[in-house]
Structure 1
Amino acid sequence: MGQTEYLLVIILFNVFLLAFIVAIIAFVVQYKNKKKESVMQLQQQQVLHQKELLAAQIEIQTQTMQHIGREIHDNVGQKLTLASLYTQQLAFENEALPINDKITGIGELINDALSELRHLSKSLTDNHIDANDIAVLLQEEFAKIEVLKKYKLNLTTESEPIPLNYQTKSLLLRVVQEFIQNSIKHAACQTISATLRKNGQQLTLTLSDDGKGFDPEKLSGKGIGLSNMKKRIALIGGNYHMESKEGNGTILTIEIST
């Protein structure tokens, strides 16, 4: 074999070796890409499954509340109404003043209970969340705390209605309720604030208190309520950011694309 043939064999061997290496690299890259796509598809399926479960859970809760509301109105309410009529009749027929006063007092208690039951029944059956703007729902939540007359409340919302679906409004409302409860129970705060802003397609809800705050690292794994809030916001495609420091209160920022 001449030198020319020898060089040709070496060149061909190197070409085949290089082609083999390139083929292996291409195969590995393709395999990794397919694996990455498979993992992403699996994650997307899991998120979709979680969203479907959440929607089903909300629907079941809504149906359950409506059923309870109807039972309160149709069953318990009617019986209390009948009892109130009986006490009114007894008070009218009885001439003994002390007994009459007691019967009247019982009737007033029953009427108060009826009024509260009617309010509860209405709130459970009239699809209140779906029928109202998120700003109205937040105002109602803050009004409930304002009755306590123990906290300074600051609420700033958009003047124009913000179109949101039932699921988004329901989850935002639950997060607000959870934050307020945590601020009242654990933060020893004096002020609770909320700001709702819409900038283009982005909705930002900021919640804060001036309480004692906490160290997030110490709370890791223990804050079930906080973890649930974060998961719920993630399910509607939102971003959740919690800032807190011992002695400096807590700030929760939620961003959602609408």
Structure 2
Amino acid sequence: MMTQTHIEYDLHEIIISFIAFTIVLVLLVTFGIIFTLLFSRRQAQFRQEKQALHETYQRELLQSQLETQNQTLEYIGQELHDNIGQMLSVAMLHLNGLEEELTQSSHQSAVSRMVQTIEGTILAVRQLAKTLDSGTIQRFGLRESLGLELERINQTGRYQTHLQIIGEPCELGNEAEIILFRMAQESLNNAIKHAGAKTLTIIVDYQSTIFVLTIADDGRGFELSETANRQVGESGSGMRNLHQRAQLLGGTCLVDTQQGLGTRIEIKLPLSLST
């Protein structure tokens, strides 16, 4: 028969055992929670590092592509200026001599028209060579280069062009201005080739903290969702290039378009990141 002392002793051991078990259980649960949190944090860190590496690779790849493009365009511009321009100048000299010899001839007017045509062609070639050369953008800046590009397009007689400057101009840096100019060139070329536009407008807006470059046309517009799903190399993939270039500069690119209502491309670049 158990005495009162034995009962109290057994109860005391049970309580101690329960407390010890509870402490061990709490420690195990705490350890499990800490392990889970550390594992989740490590996984999140790994994903962030992987994403950062991917973004760095994409930026470097895009930067390499832009550098290759600039080198190619500069080479073409140099060839146009040095070779094609020189050949046209020689042809111009011959025609001038022929025009003088045909002073009293019925063919003089035809030769005069040819001289005017070649003069216009030489001017167009020189202007095109300038817009292909990144050095032009570095020397004259973004605003003047955009004006030169629109003037070149306007001289074809097929389009009306407008350049609007808003706010107090500031320097964005050579690299940023070259990339922005190439984005504007690509947008204008798309409008000319695909949109059937008659009016091309560029708005350069220097706000207090944001730089906004807008390229708009009054063309036929397009279905944005359709072009977004096209593969690289297909027509329309240029929209993807615009977004990637804007991201490279730390900015954004918004394309607003509808069938029959033209297209408006708005590139926003934080000034704190562009300077």
The TM-score normalised by the length of structure 2 is 0.72
Which of the residues 226, 248, 253 maps onto 2:266? 253
Residue in structure 1 matched with residue 206 of structure 2 by the alignment? 198
* Range with greater deviation from structure 2 (198-207 or 64-73): 64-73
Task: Give matches, 1:229-240, under 5 Å.
Answer: 229-240=242-253
| Deviations 1:54-98, CA, capped at 9 Å, x for gaps | 33333344444444555555666666666776787899999xx79
- Give the conservation status (yes or no) of the 8 Å contact 1:69–1:122: yes
Residue in structure 2 matched with residue 175 of structure 1 by the alignment? 183
Residue 17 (1) aligns with residue 25 (2): yes
- Look up the equivalent residue of 1:255 and give its one-letter code: K
* Range with greater deviation from structure 2 (65-74 or 166-175): 65-74
Residue in structure 2 matched with residue 207 of structure 1 by the alignment? 215
Deviation of the 1:201 alpha carbon: 2.8
- Give the conservation status (yes or no) of the 8 Å contact 2:201–2:217: yes
Residue in structure 1 matched with residue 151 of structure 2 by the alignment? 143
Unmatched runs of 5 consecutive residues or more in structure 1: none
Deviation of the 1:175 alpha carbon: 2.2
- Give the conservation status (yes or no) of the 8 Å contact 1:203–1:257: yes
- Give the conservation status (yes or no) of the 8 Å contact 2:246–2:252: yes
Residue 52 (1) aligns with residue 60 (2): yes
- Give the conservation status (yes or no) of the 8 Å contact 2:77–2:133: yes
Q: How far apart are the structure 2 equivalents of 1:72 and 1:26?
A: 68
Match of 2:36, SS state, is helix
Deviation of the 1:26 alpha carbon: 1.6
- Give the conservation status (yes or no) of the 8 Å contact 1:238–1:255: yes
Q: How far apart are the structure 2 equivalents of 1:178 and 1:54?
A: 16
Residue in structure 2 matched with residue 227 of structure 1 by the alignment? 240
- Look up the equivalent residue of 1:245 and give its one-letter code: Q
Which of the residues 129, 136, 140 maps onto 1:132? 140
Identity level (%): 28
Unmatched runs of 5 consecutive residues or more in structure 2: 1-8, 231-235
- Look up the equivalent residue of 1:155 and give its one-letter code: L
Q: How far apart are the structure 2 equivalents of 1:234 and 1:246?
A: 27
* Range with greater deviation from structure 2 (228-237 or 62-71): 62-71
Deviation of the 1:190 alpha carbon: 4.3
- Give the conservation status (yes or no) of the 8 Å contact 2:215–2:265: yes
Count of paired positions: 258
Match of 1:204, SS state, is strand
